[in-house]
Amino acid sequence: MRSTDRGEGDTLEQKRDNAAKTISLVMVITLLGKALGLYRDRLLAVHYSTGMEANAFFTASRIPRVFFDAIFASAIAACFIPVFSEYLEKRGRKEALAFAGQFLTAMALLTGGVTVAGMLCPQPLVALFADYADPQTTALAVSLTRVMFPTVLFSGAAFSLVGILQAQDHFTAPALMSAVSNLVIIAYFFTLDGQLGIYGLAGAYLLGWFLQGAVQLPPLRRLDCRLRPGLALRSEGMKKVFALMGPVMVSTWVQPITLAINARFGSRLYDGAGVSALEYASNLYLVIAGTFILSITNVIFPRLSRLTAGGREGEFQDTIRQTVHTSLFFVLPMSAGLMVVSRPLVSLIYGGGIFDRFAVEITSSALAWMSLGMAGYGVQNILSRACFARQDGRGPLAAGAASIGVNIALCQVLAEPFGVAGLAISSTVSSTVYALLLLLPMERRGQGVLDRGMLLDLAKMALSAAAMGLCAWAAQSGLSGWLPAGKAGELLSLALCAGLGAAVYFLLTFFLGLGEAKLALSLVKKQKRG
């Protein structure tokens, strides 16, 4: 039985409209989850700021997250979805679901083993991830790591179920994951934080991750996905997964390992406060960059996998080209704008309580320099998914290893003279290097996205984004003496700068003839007529 790509009989315009609607819905849900995550982080900042408990907590939460992200998370998507899509395309639903049950069983055993090992031996892990001068911070980080390590098991189950849903073009429940967990943590701050403190917060994080898996079960039942456990490690599907998993796991280490390396260097800065500053900054950065980029890549990846399985190389290339073009159209102005408004944004989101002016300064400095790497972050995510859809992990493996090396070298050089700004610059350069090392080999093979038209459009986008950034900076400087002090003034400043910047960017790109600006204008006109 051969399944067909959904909407195969639709016109090109209909396909684009359907894709845009799906991406928009996923983006809205993802944005809701990210917004709740920001509010969660604000509560954490107000209660714990960049003090000992916050630093220990961020280290303890990062360790299982890195283990899962580096070993399982992206590998689950990158290895499972292409093989599962191939089964659906060529063998039918029954065999595909049998393979899914085998995969889920293998992931449960692997994540369970890692969880037990991490709970038994947290001390060397903390020593690897942080270098605190204060032994109390280290001891607290060890205790919290032991409490939080079961997140690896819960995450493994959640992401395995997400892979099954996304491979069948169901994205709503997966997008709701972060919203569910963040609501649990927010509720904890308003109810039990005063009684249970930082250990209770660790427990709330565990409960949130457990519920992330639970919310995937109802849509699986509606799809009649009856998953039966089975340990068939030598089946054809599992052999393909294991063949891909090694290089894919290493290639997906880049972001979590980069963040972990930077956090270790940050633990040596400002009496350990560099850890919290980088965590707050990266969380805010991922709300802005991740909401857009990950929404797109999560939606297009199953389609790319089906196009590969069906041998439709032309459609595959067109999809990648259009995705990169559209992503950069939005990412470049985001990057420029975020660099300009980083300080008032950090102050608005995190400022208050014991999160003082110094905490605002170091966090906003990290955020500003991180923002320069947004284009590289977007391109590397898209191109690595293109490689994974082709069941190719070697290119991302080599590029990822090189970018990690670049990051370590730059952290060694820039951490001491520039503080958290130097660490943020290191991550920006490493993500850009990763993107270039994926892009250039594709271009040499004739599988890339760069041609004269693309380069010309990129120049137009960059020029428009630079002009937007200058206008936003001028507006922010001019308004500084006129707006009221406090949160109201910060909110007004951000709103006015963002509105002016967006208007400048879209007007410039429209007059320069970029298709995305013209499409946005036509959609506005349709809404007005409606």
CA–CA dist 268, 133 (Å, integer): 8
User: 3-class SS at 50?
Assistant: coil
Q: Which residues contact 152 (CB under 8 A, 6 or more apart)?
A: 64, 67, 68, 72, 111, 114, 115, 118
Structure tokens at 245: 């998993």
Tell which residue, 215, 302, 187, has the closest CA to residue 29: 215
- Find all residues with CB under 8 Å of 373, minimum gap 6, and list them: 427, 428, 429, 430, 431, 432
Are the CB atoms for 431 and 403 separated by under 8 Å?
yes
Reported for 256-259, long-range contacts at CB under 8 A and 24+ positions apart, including other chains, are: 256/65, 256/66, 256/69, 256/70, 257/66, 257/70, 257/404, 258/403, 258/404, 258/407, 258/427, 258/430, 258/431, 259/62, 259/66, 259/427
Reduce the secondary structure of 151-219 to three states and give it as a string: HHHHHHHHHHHHHHHHHCCCCHHHHCHHHHHHHHHHHHHHHCHHHHHHHHHHHHHHHHHHHHHHCCHHH
pLDDT of 291 reads 74
Q: CA triplet 327, 68, 210: central angle to 5 degrees?
A: 100
pLDDT tens for 289-309 read 877 787 787 778 778 877 887
Smallest CA-to-CA distance from 259 within 288, 282, 292, 293 is with 282
Phi, psi values for residue 355, rounded to 5°? -85, 90
In the chain (530 residues long), the average pLDDT of successive 10-residue segments reads 45 55 73 85 86 90 78 67 83 87 87 92 90 89 94 86 82 84 94 93 93 90 83 81 70 73 88 87 83 77 79 84 89 92 90 84 94 92 84 80 92 93 94 92 82 91 94 86 77 88 92 79 55
pLDDT tens figures, 448-503 = 788 888 899 999 999 999 999 999 999 888 877 777 777 888 888 888 898 999 99
Residue 345 structure tokens: 């944004």
- Note the pLDDT of residue 1: 38
pLDDT the model gives residue 3: 41
Q: How far apart are CA 493 and CA 475, in angstroms?
A: 8
Please name which of 271, 269, 352, 344 lies closest in space to residue 49, comparing C-alpha atoms: 352
Using one digit for the tens of pLDDT, what is the confidence trace for 337-381? Answer: 999 999 989 998 888 877 888 989 999 999 999 999 999 999 988
Task: Give the per-residue pLDDT at 2.
Answer: 40
Contact 475, 500 (CB under 8 A): yes
**Contact between residue 59 and residue 268 where contact means Cβ atoms under 8 Å apart:** no
